[in-house]
Amino acid sequence: MKSTLEPQEGNKVKLSIAVDEAEFEADIDAAFKRIAREVRLPGFRPGKAPRKVLEARIGLEAARGEAFEQAVPKYYLEAVEEHDVDVIAQPEFDITAGQEGGDVAFDAVVEIRPEITVGGYDSLRVTIPSPDVDPSEIDDRIDRLRESFAELESVERPAQTGDNVTIDIAGSREGEAIDGLTADDYLYEVGSATIVPELDEKLVGAKVDDVVEFTADHPLPDEDPVDFKVVVKAIKEKVLPEADDAFAAEASEFETIDELRADLETRFGMVKKVQASMAVQQKTAEALADLVTDEVPEALVSQEMQQRLEDLAMRLQAQGVGIEQYLAQTGQDQEAFVGELRESAAQGVKVDLALRAVAVAEGLEVSDDELEDEYAAVAERVGQKTAQVRKQLERNGQVSAVRSDLRTRKALEWLTEHVELVDEGGNTIDRDSLVVAPEPSEDDGPEAEAPEATTEDE
C-alpha cells in the first residue's frame, strides 16, 4: 500500500491510497472465506466450500465488492497512522480505480483537528477567591454558632425581621382550606421566606392580636393564587449568648473564645486555600478560551456534547435517575438543557485547542517515561497490569491520543504556574499562600521538623 497526503479547503485533508492487485488479492480471498460461512452449497459444510466453487457459483464481482467494503476502511486507518493525521470526523471515500479488476486506488477526504494560535496566553491574569481569612468571616461563623444557642424571649414591640412569631395561618381558595397552608400555633421566623414572600412583608410591623389578610401566589408553580389569613399570637426575639469564654466552653471543646477563633481561622483558612487552588485551573481555562477567536469545528463540539451527555447519564444512572427525571427535578426544559450543553461543550473545545497551541508554542513534549507513568496510572484504575494497558492502547492505535492528552495537561500546568493571580479586589495573590500545610501526625514528636511545603504543580 502507498499513500499521499494533500491539504484541502475547510480544514480537511485528502488521503490518496493505492493498493497493488497482488496485495488486494488477499482481501478478495478473505472475502470469499467470509461468504463461504454464509452460503450453503450441496456437498460442503458451512465455510468449507473452495474459492473456485464459490467463484463459479456467485462470481468474482460479489467477493470483490465485499473486499472493498472491508478493506478500504482498513487501508484508510493505516494511512491515517502513517501520516499521523488527527481526524475528527468520518471520511468521505471515493473509489478511483480497481472496482472491476487490477490495482485498487481510492481517496479519503476527512476533517482534521485545526491548529490554532492564541495570542496573550503568556500574560494571562485571572481572578480567584482570596485564600486569606478576613476577621469578619470568623465573626460571621461565630455568630452562626451563637444562633444555634440562642434563646427566644417575648417582646412588647411590633415584629421585626429575625423575630420568631407564633401565628395561626389559614390558606384557602374560594373559602376551602388548603392542606399544607393551614396551621395553628405555628412558629415562624420573620424574613425566612419559607412560605410566601408576602407573609414576611405583612408580618414586619405587626403586633400581637393583629390579623393580616392578603392574596399571594401558591408556593408551588402552576397553582392558582391563595387567600391567606394570619393571626399574630406572640412575638419573640432571639437573644444570642455573648461571644465570651463561657460561650466557647459550652459550644466547643475550647476553654476560651480566643482558642475557638484560632481554630475556626485555621480550619476555614484551609478550606479557602483549597477553594482558591481549585479555582486556579478553572479560571485559567476560562481565560484561555476567551483568547480563541477561531470558529471551532462542529464535529468537535458534537463529540464533546456526546461525551458530556454520556458522563452525565452514567452519574445519574448510578443514582437511579434518568435524564428526563433529572430535567424535571432541576426545572429545565430539553431545549434549554441542550443549549447549555452545547455552550459548555464549545467552551471545552476552545480550551482543548488552545492548550494544544500552548504546548506547541512552548515546546512541551511528553517523554517515554511520562507515557509509561500514565500507562501505570491507567492500569491501577482499571485493575490491570501496565503491560496489558500498553499493549491494548498500542493495538488500538491510541498511543498518540494518550500522548496528546498528556501534552495538553502539561500545557495547563505550565499556564497555572505562569498566570497572574489576583483576588476580587485586584490584589496580587502569592502562590505560596495557596499551600495547605500538612497536619502533624501523632507520631511526630515536639522535635519533629515540618515537611517542606510544595505546591500542587511541583
Lowest mean pLDDT among 62-66, 101-105, 291-295, 341-345: 62-66
pLDDT score of 61: 79
Gap between the Cα atoms of 277 and 280, Å rounded: 5
% residues pLDDT > 90 (the chain): 72
Which tens digits make up the pLDDT trace of 216-267? 999 887 789 999 999 999 999 999 999 999 999 999 999 999 999 999 999 9
Helix or strand holding residue 215 (H, E) = strand 211-216
Residue 452 has pLDDT above 50, yes or no: no
Q: Cα–Cα distances in Å, from 82 out to 22, 129, 204? A: 21, 48, 77
Do the beta carbons of residue 171 and residue 181 sit within 8 Å?
A: yes
Span 407-431, average pLDDT: 93
User: Does pLDDT of 447 surpass 50?
Assistant: no
Residue 40 has a pLDDT of 67
- What is the rounded average pLDDT of the residues 359-385? 94
pLDDT at 41 (0 to 100): 64
The predicted-structure confidence for 181-198, as pLDDT tens digits, reads as follows 999 999 999 999 999 999
* Cα–Cα distance for residue pair 80/61, rounded to 1 Å: 28
pLDDT of residue 456: 38
Q: So what's the pLDDT on residue 59? A: 64
DSSP 275-335: HHHHHHHHHHHHHHHTT--SPPPHHHHHHHHHHHHHHHHHHHHHTT--HHHHHHHHT--HH
The pLDDT assigned to 56 comes to 62
Please say if the pLDDT value at position 454 is more than 60: no
* pLDDT at residue 448 is higher than 50: no
12-16, 57-61, 75-79: which range is least confident on average? 57-61
Cell (9 digits) for 406: 498528556
Residue range 340-368: average pLDDT?
94
Q: What is the mean pLDDT of the chain?
A: 89
Is 7's pLDDT higher than 50? yes
- The angle, 0 to 180 degrees and rounded to 10, between the axes of the packed helices 257-289 and 399-418 is 120
Mind listing the pLDDT tens digit for each residue in 314-343?
Answer: 999 999 988 888 898 888 888 999 999 999
Ranges 56-65, 152-161, 241-250, 312-321: which has the least confidence: 56-65
All domains of the chain, ordered by start, with CATH? 2-111 (3.30.70.1050), 114-149+245-294+347-458 (1.10.3120), 151-239 (3.10.50.40)
Residues 414-442, mean pLDDT to the nearest whole number: 84
Spatial distance between the Cα atoms of 20 and 1, rounded to a whole number of angstroms: 7
